Structure 1
Amino acid sequence: MPYLDNSLLIFTDLDGSLLDHDDYSWKPAQGWLTRLAEHQVPVVITTSKTAAEVTALQQALNLTDVPFIAENGAVIALPESWGDHLAWPRKVFGAEYGEIRKIIDALRLRYDFECRGFGDVDAAQVADWTGLQPDEARLAMAREGSEPLVWFGDERDLKRFEGYLNQEGLMLTRGGRFWHVMGAGVSKGQAVQWLAGEYRRLRGHPMVTIGLGDGPNDLSMLEAVDHAVVIRGHHDQPMPLANEQHDRVFRTTLYGPQGWKQGLDHFIHKSGQA
């Protein structure tokens, strides 16, 4: 198991993981966030949220000098301290938001698929869907490389919709609350691998990576790290991982930030001393 004084790199989902599913609090995780900051361990937010949303959250979480991954891996935002990096300030994967919207609109018009995305509604409706305040909902609508959808049709039509998206170079992934449409091949796991590689290059040595997530859209992230914390989720979706070895995967019994804390308690020793 890793120690706090190892070269650790943490990747974490937000909703239902670091943030409580209902009230978005991270209080139970604050002790670990403080401890990780004291040991200069980067905590990389890895979320379906937009860069606009994460920027505000980073301030509150005191993680502002760390890159973050937004929109399920479509966007990697680099901090000012990475200003000399060739990708600064953004590394973007996949299709742009406007192109994604055009394809969704065309498929709905042709096949009468029953779904609504953030681009179809106003901030009040997004606030109702998410539980966010209207100002927060507007930040959630500032999309760059993905579109969250509420699906109202049946499972058969969902499969057809996914097939047509694939033909257009797009893919569909399941999040905690929404389906997300983005460029083919885009995932949290792809972004985690890229960013872990950049940390390794910049620091001159490998990092021990830990990932924490609760939803199906976190699976690629959890597969891409050395140690995976599968946080108990408020959903009935399966969370299978290819490598279920007990020294690599821990499944929590607690939800949200309580589970987040439980996972780090399991994997990280306080120091390298015996």
Structure 2
Amino acid sequence: MIPLDSSLLIVTDLDGSLLDHHDYNWDAASEWLARLNAHHIPLVICSSKTAAEIIPLQKRLGIAGAPFIAENGARVAFGGDEPLTEEPSASYRALCQTLQTLQADFRFDGFHQFSDAEVARFTGLTLTEASQSRLRDASEVVLWRDDEEKLDDFRHALAQHQLALTQGGRFWHVMPAGSGKGVALAQLQQHLAEQEGHQRTTIGLGDGPNDAPMLERVDYAVVIKGFSKTPVVLQRPDEENVYHTARPGPEGWREGLDYFLAQSV
């Protein structure tokens, strides 16, 4: 079993993992959150959510100021007081302009084309949360309305603009080529190692295909039962360090930490 001490680092996806897929609660995980805090074990959010969504959530989770990875790795925050974004960034606006040119050949909609109320309606978020989800830095959420057979053509078209497509728990995401949760986690691990003088043992938890690069990067991986049609497939030889949960959402999150850590308590 993994020692439950401050040399550990927990890296977690949010929607469908720490947060319930339907109502975004984390009640089932709250006991473990308190236990991690008591043992001074950092909890790093690694999510498709924006920084504007993650920073208020960190406060509610009691981990304000912790490092986090936003927009599927398109933004990495190394910790401390991150400024709250009030407007979408210039790079995000440029990305949306590129996507608008591709709508001549493919049928899809981006979050920038919806109002806060519309995003709230199809995500289940509050109006405030929906507004925060639209304050983006470097990636766009896409609702694919075309044939699935055209996704490969869409990927090829995006690549011509140095962009890539990844599938989340419920939506597609367009982001800069070469970015992702695994690349972002590697950057964060390097930063922490230089700051602290040692490498931490990592446990990662996620439920979607976009979590695979992060789950391949960590020492121990928890694949939470998800709702995506596409299974999470990991390319790693150490199957003994990978656990697939029977339960979804925060119950699966708790189940995963119970599996790797419970006997250490």
Normalized against structure 2, the TM-score is what?
A: 0.94
Name the CA distance, whole Å, in 2 between partners of 1:41 and 1:193: 18
Cα pair 2:107 2:146 within 8 Å, conserved? yes
* 1:90-115 per-position Cα deviation (integer Å, ceiling 9, x unaligned): 9xxxx921221111011113x2x110
The one-letter amino acid paired with 1:145 is A
User: Residues 95-114 of structure 1 correspond to what in structure 2 (within 5 A)?
Assistant: 96-109=91-104, 111=105, 113-114=106-107
Identity of paired residues, percent? Answer: 48
- Partner residue, 1:36: 36
Q: How does 1:114-263 map to 2 (within 5 A)?
A: 114-263=107-256
Contact 2:6 2:41 in 1 (8 A): no
Shift of 1:244: 5.0
What code does the residue aligned with 1:120 have?
Q
Q: Which amino acid in the other structure matches residue 177 of structure 2?
A: A
Native 8 Å contact 1:78 1:89 kept in 2: no
8 Å CA contact retained: 2:16, 2:226: yes
Partner Cα separation in structure 2 for residue 14 and residue 136 of structure 1: 14
Q: Matched residues in 1 for 2:68 and 2:229: separation? A: 28
User: CA separation in 2, counterparts of 1:182 and 1:44?
Assistant: 21
Decide whether the 8 Å contact of 2:111 with 2:134 is kept in 1.
yes
Alpha carbons of structure 1 residues 130 and 244: separation in structure 2 relative to 1, 3 Å: farther
Q: How far off is 1:162 after superposition?
A: 1.2
Q: Report the alpha carbon displacement of residue 160 of structure 1 after superposing the two structures with TM.
A: 1.2
Per the alignment, residue 84 of structure 1 pairs with none
Does structure 2 retain, via aligned residues, the 8 Å contact 1:79–1:89?
Answer: no
For 2:103, what is the secondary structure of its paired residue? helix
TM-score, L = length of structure 1: 0.91
Aligned partner letter, 2:226? G
The aligned runs of 1:40-59 (5 Å cut-off) are 40-59=40-59
1:157 Cα deviation after fit = 2.2
Is 1:71 aligned with 2:71? Answer: yes
Equivalent position amino acid for 1:96 in 2: S
Moved over 6 A (4+): none
Letter in 2 for 1:51: A
Is the partner of 1:69 in helix, strand or coil? strand
Q: Quick check: 1:50–1:70 contact (8 Å CA) kept in 2?
A: yes
Alignment-mate amino acid for residue 66 of structure 2: V
- Give, in angstroms, the shift of residue 271 of structure 1: 4.0
| Structure 1 unmatched runs, 5+ | 82-87
Shift of 1:60: 0.5
Partner amino acid, structure 1, of 2:167: R
